[in-house]
Structure 1
Amino acid sequence: MTSSTNDDVPDENNDKLGVLHFSVAYSSKDSTLTLKILRANDLVAKDMSGTSDPYVKILLLPDKKQKLVTKIKRKNLNPRWNETFAFEGFPYTKLVNRTLYLQVLDYDRFSRDDPIGELCIPLADLDLSKVQTFSRSLQPCKSSVGKLGELQVSLNYEGSVGVISVGIVKARNLKAMDINGSSDPYVKVWLMHDGKKVEKKKTETKEKDLNPTFNETMMFTVPYERIRQTSLVVSVMDYDRMGRNEPIGQLILGNKSGPMEVKHWNEMFAKSRTNVVKWHILKDFS
């Protein structure tokens, strides 16, 4: 197997997120695709400290179940990984229908990891007969904002009785998950303590509706002394009668979530016994 280099020249518009260096090789004898994540340069800073804690998430689309990740490189905008990953059991005829998806993320201990940029490489476009090394400018993540839809939620906490009321009001512009261009959405809410699942409740399913109105309220008992360790994982799901229900998007409400979610959570305490209603952008299950 010969080796070649495909060092793309990052253009001025796209290199602001950083450049990812990696190599791809394929063994037809072993039906194995080998990917090596080498390094990244000039990654955008996502933390308030002016740096990032990057890692790379790897998928071979359309399969989203086998997700691989590199190690996290702390406080490093020019990380070196030199990590090798193998996708086994892929004859060439099957492999050319796959797309290599690489996403660089900034790890965050207290909230959802923040996407830095992504690459989508159809393997049919590559010459898999030789080892190739690439340097590609990261592209903005298409799925990170607003592509999955939004959910309107109300929160109310009565500390005297230790009850959180979660109102699932309505959703808008949900992603179509079915072949018919629609979805059959319902909302599932997990009460979490210290990151562990405690209690689950869900709404009714709305058939063929990308802008459903639920107007359902769920009540969870949470003593005041445990509220700091509590969070709510709110998932919008697409009901499937014949197969597994598919996730559309989710949000996490608590004091260690994203800025908008934390603001909503804190406002719930500031306005006790009042329904605090806000829209939230759904995020990927990652």
Structure 2
Amino acid sequence: MPPIFFDEPDYSCGQKLGRIQFSVSYDFDASTLTVKIIKAEDLAAKDLSGTSDPYVKIMLLPDKKHTMTTNIKRKNLNPRWNEVFAFEGFPYHKVATRTLYLLVLDYDRFSRDDPIGEVCLPLNDLDLGTGQTLWRTLRPCKGAAGKLGMLLVTLCYQPASETITITINKAKDLKAKDINGSSDPYVKVWLMHDGKKIEKKKTEVHEKNLNPIFNDIFNFTVPYDKIRQSSLVVSVMDYDRMGRNEAIGQLVLGSKSGQMEVKHWNEMFAKSRQNVSQWHVLKDFG
């Protein structure tokens, strides 16, 4: 069976926010991920003076507690930082499931700092052992650092049986939907074909839990000739015993989804018969 790859979504249109250069490498002996923020070019001006005071915030999603920031470069739309950041004590199997999140902000002394743009890069897309220097175009900020929460999902494709196995591992920092400041989350997964619902599976409800561990495994039969038209819609819901269940967030895994989702989908086929795990930022229901 030939390998299956889908095109990356086209983000070339829309507002030009600039681009950022950075490098990423991993030291296996020291269990340390090193990120160097090198420079940015053609950043969007956020101040009335026609410039910005940019700095970069660095996170490894979904871990938002360990946030690192560069220095602020005053009145500069083409800043050079050349600053190095080390995430120490990270075994490689954990690093491979993390997403490097870079948020470029405009510093404001008198009000909230204004986001310029962001980059999300799943680290399992990189050859971390050799180290890589990359340019990435900044994307509009969607509050993507987890305002609805994140979901860890594992995919596996078995060519012989034409089966996609999806494991709903766990969620993190889910948005509270109940008056008590919590939620009763469960996850439902729809197999879609040409936009039509084919088959549904769902997990058990985890009461009053914003960081539930599911570890539920579901199998869907997807014939090889229907893969390009198929997708998995993964919805995180808040169960309500007395009323209608409320949506928390969702993601769509398929060939025509968002950048991170398409990469995960591609890797499932590129590494058929292997489990491929990835954290995903939950999005509003479209």
Q: Could you state the TM-score of these two structures normalised by the residue count of structure 1?
A: 0.52
Deviations 1:130-158 (A, max 9, x none): xxxxxxxxx98765541000000000010
CA distance in 2, matches of 1:191, 1:242: 28
| Cα separation, 2, equivalents of 1:144 and 1:50 | 20
Provide structure 1 residue ranges, at least 5 long, that are not aligned to the other structure.
Answer: 1-45, 53-138
**Which residue of structure 1 aligns with residue 158 of structure 2?**
158
Residues paired across the two proteins, number:
157
Partner secondary structure for residue 257 of structure 2 = coil
Cross-structure match for 1:59? none
Provide the secondary structure at the position in 2 that maps to 1:156: strand
**Counterpart position of 2:253:** 253
Aligned equivalents of 1:238, 1:50: Cα separation in 2: 35
Q: Shift in Å at residue 160 of structure 1?
A: 1.1
CA distance in 2, matches of 1:142, 1:152: 19
Residues 109-150 of structure 1: per-residue CA shift (max 9 Å, x gap): xxxxxxxxxxxxxxxxxxxxxxxxxxxxxx987655410000
Post-superposition Cα deviations, 1:82-103, rounded to whole Å, max 9, x if no partner, equal: xxxxxxxxxxxxxxxxxxxxxx
Contact 2:191 2:233 in 1 (8 A): yes
Contiguous gaps of at least 5 residues in structure 2: 1-8, 16-115, 117-139
Q: Which residue of 1 aligns with 2:120?
A: none
Instruction: State the 1:244 CA deviation.
Output: 0.3
> Is 1:205 aligned with 2:205?
yes
Structure 1 residue identity aligned to 2:149: G
Change (3 A) 1:225 1:142: closer
Hey, what's the Cα distance between the residues in 1 that align with 2:242 and 2:283?
Answer: 25
Provide closer, same or farther for how the CA distance between residues 277 and 242 of structure 1 changes in structure 2, counting only shifts above 3 A: same
Match of 1:266 in 2: 266
C-alpha displacement of 1:233: 0.3
- Please list, as runs of the form range in 1=range in 2, the aligned pairs for 1:117-156 lying within 5 A after superposition: 144-156=144-156
Give the Cα–Cα distance (whole angstroms) in 2 for the partners of residues 175 and 190 of structure 1: 22
In structure 2, the residue corresponding to 1:154 is in which secondary structure? strand
Residues 11-64 of structure 1 deviation map (CA, whole Å, 9 limit, x = unaligned): xxxxxxxxxxxxxxxxxxxxxxxxxxxxxxxxxxx9644447xxxxxxxxxxxx
| 8 Å CA contact 1:144, 1:284 repeated in 2 | no
| Corresponding position: 1:238 with 2:238 | yes
1:179-202, CA deviations, whole angstroms, 9 ceiling, x for partnerless residues? Answer: 001000000000000111101110
Paired position in structure 2 for 1:224: 224
Aligned to 2:285: 285
* Distance across 2 between alignment mates of 1:47 and 1:156: 26
Change (3 A) 1:220 1:179: same
SS state of the match for residue 264, structure 1?
helix
| 2:187 paired residue number | 187
Q: Distance in 2 between matches of 1:161 and 1:285?
A: 32
> Do the aligned residues in 2 keep the contact of 1:253 with 1:262 (CA within 8 Å)?
yes
The structure-2 alpha-carbon separation of the partners of 1:270 and 1:245, relative to structure 1 and needing over 3 Å to count, comes to: same
CA contact (8 A) 1:143 1:284 kept: no
Contact 1:155–1:166 (8 Å) recurs in 2:
yes
**SS of corresponding position for 1:263:** helix
- SS at 2:201 equivalent: strand
Q: If you compute each CA radius of gyration, which structure gives the higher value, 1 or 2?
A: 1
| Partner SS state of residue 232, structure 1 | strand
RMSD, matched Cα = 2.3
- Deviant stretches of 4+, over 2 Å: 46-52, 139-145
2:225 counterpart SS class: helix
1:226 is aligned with what amino acid? K
1:145–1:283 Cα contact (<8 Å) kept: no
8 Å CA contact 1:150–1:173 kept in 2: the answer is: yes
The amino acid that maps onto 1:183 is S
Query: Structure 1 pair 193/169, CA: closer, same or farther in 2 (3 Å)?
Result: same
2:167 aligned residue: 167
Which letter does structure 2 place at the counterpart of 1:221? T
Aligned to 1:13: none
